Amino acid sequence: MALRLGDIAPDFFAKTTHGNINFHDWLKDSWGILFSHPKDYTPVCTTELGYMSKIKPEFDKRNVKILAISVDPIDSHCGWIGDINETQNTTVNFPIIADPSREISNLYDMIHPKADDTLTVRSVFIIGPDKIIKLSITYPASTGRNFDEVLRVVDSLQLTSNYQVATPVNWKNGDDCIIVPSIPADDIPQKFPKGHKEIKPYLRYTPQPDI
């Protein structure tokens, strides 16, 4: 059965380009991003892993660990990393899982047989420090993902987790946030000392709490 938001991210043992890991132990208390790509030595994947390497410092700042996966073996990953570094002007700085048995890909439902019966689609999972799946998205092989959007979701999730705010349409870091509906009006002044605006009883904005 497919994994859903709120499910525990299944634990696994994996061989990666940075050595062997047990997923939950490797995550420790961090947030995590697990993302699959269909195949090594392909153009869209090359640009994706290159870009992710460049913005990894932004994920580090947010205490998020990055882990890629595909069904190709370690020696293929290692050779391809050389090409990514060369062509994308970067250094791949996160582990890539080799999953030739497809055990982990199947565990995370990353193979969609009607799209391709052997290769993974482009899945992304954001996993909280509690090991719970907070986001799951699936892109087709032909569309490179927007990892700035993944970073934006991390910011939104961390605000919700730390401050009981949600984020409105097209929110970006620094914009006003929405006070979650479960907070009674009487509690707002104490919980949101920066102030708030009530547009409707269910639509209440407050300045972003962490800036």
Residue 86: CB minimum distance to ligand BEZ, A: 17
Calpha distance 172→194 (Å, rounded): 18
CA 192 to chain centre: 28
Total binding residues toward ligand BEZ, as defined by CB under 6 A:
8
- Member of 17, 21, 30, 42 binding ligand BEZ (CB under 6 A): 42
User: By CB under 6 A, which span of 4-12, 36-44, 102-110, 186-194 interacts with ligand BEZ?
Assistant: 36-44
Smaller CB distance to ligand BEZ: residue 72 or 155? 72
User: By CB under 6 A, which span of 14-22, 40-48, 72-80, 148-156 interacts with ligand BEZ?
Assistant: 40-48
Smaller CB distance to ligand BEZ: residue 9 or 84? 84
Verify binding: residue 38, ligand BEZ, rule CB under 6 A: yes
Calpha distance 137→43 (Å, rounded): 21
Verify binding: residue 138, ligand BEZ, rule CB under 6 A: no
Residue 177: CB minimum distance to ligand BEZ, A: 36
Verify binding: residue 27, ligand BEZ, rule CB under 6 A: no
- Helices 43-61/74-88 angle, 10° precision: 80
127: number of CA atoms within 13 Å, CB side?
28
Smaller CB distance to ligand BEZ: residue 150 or 159? 150
Verify binding: residue 43, ligand BEZ, rule CB under 6 A: yes
Residue 26: CB minimum distance to ligand BEZ, A: 26
Calpha distance 96→49 (Å, rounded): 10
The CA–CA distances, whole Å, from 122 to 33, 137, 146 equal 13, 8, 11
Smaller CB distance to ligand BEZ: residue 139 or 192? 139
Closest Cα partner for 114 from 136, 135, 140?
140
The CA–CA distances, whole Å, from 156 to 47, 125, 202 equal 25, 15, 19
User: What residues act catalytically?
Assistant: 45
